[in-house]
Amino acid sequence: MKKAELVVIPMPGMGHLIPANTKPIIKRVVQEQVVSSRYASTCSESPGQLAGFVVDLLCTEMIDLANELNVPSYLFFTSGAGYLNLKFHFQTLTDDHGVEVSDELKDPGTELDVPGFRNRVPASVLPSIFLEKEGFTGVRNYTRGYRETKGIIINTFMELEPHATQSLLNDAGIPPIYPVGPIVNLNPQTEDPNDGLCNARESIMRWLDDQPPSSVVFLCFGSMGSFTEEQVREVAKGLERSGHRFLWSLRRPPPSDEKYGPPQDYNDLEGALPEGFSDRTDKIGKIIGWAPQVAVLSHPAIGGFVSHCGWNSTLESL
């Protein structure tokens, strides 16, 4: 049986040189590079035949293009089954029951029954985008598109999320679910030896090498994770009182005029911490900025992980 060829077509970045509607561009690329005999001649002896599309969770407009080309489309959902249940539930509440989700969630004390969750879900722990009318409109529209696919490939596995995965499988209104996880990059690209990140990595790993096995608590809160001054002080107090060894990836919030900008490393860590904290914890702790998370989590000295519970971090910790 002839093996399938996988062709990755990156989505063009948005900007003044790229039209807002990228579907015609992608359609032309597909027709010229995938369907044409020119492409086929480079990879097989017979003419190429487009079998289908695999789109990511933010690329659902390509489902319409797949339909135009008369091929099936599949969604690759990079997060977990629990979050997918959450998105389908709120989209159903809005479209089928006329519920204004952002209004329903105004009271942080509200608790919700959500398919795929054994316990009720407090509104206070939901992603902030669900609480914003504009933000949730985008979530709802993307989730509508998920239902139009022929199947959903999801980065999880039954042993990790049995209840949430089974809930999706049991729902006749949701396309077939294919758990294929865990998919994680355990061998990230090596840093340039002349890059500051490479030096930072070496310093971190040397420090871990000097610690006893399973003795260090690693605190890291994702690529977008940062704390307010008050939160930094509270975490610092907790670490000091615990007396445990720790490695803390601490980054400052983006400037106030960059609401969705990434956090940055502190120029002066001492100024962000309680007075004397570094001196008092010098023998048991190390505070860093950027962290090579996969390498740190796989080090024998790590005995615990405090994270923001992002899906990549969850899978990498396994």
**Cβ(254)–Cβ(226) below 8 Å:** yes
| pTM of structure | 0.80
Contact between 81 and 165 under an 8 Å Cβ cutoff? The reply is yes
User: So what's the pLDDT on residue 48?
Assistant: 58
Tokens standing for residue 233: 């002080």
A 10 A CB-CB count for 107 gives 10
Lowest model confidence (mean pLDDT) among 46-60, 91-105, 120-134, 258-272: 258-272
At which residue do the structure tokens 């990879």 appear?
Answer: 43
Q: Inform me whether the pLDDT recorded for 94 exceeds 60.
A: yes
* Between 24 and 240, residue with greater pLDDT: 240
CA distance 219 to 217: 6
Give me the pLDDT at residue 163, please.
96
For 49-64, what is the mean pLDDT? Answer: 86
Most confident of 17-26, 131-140, 219-228, 256-265: 131-140
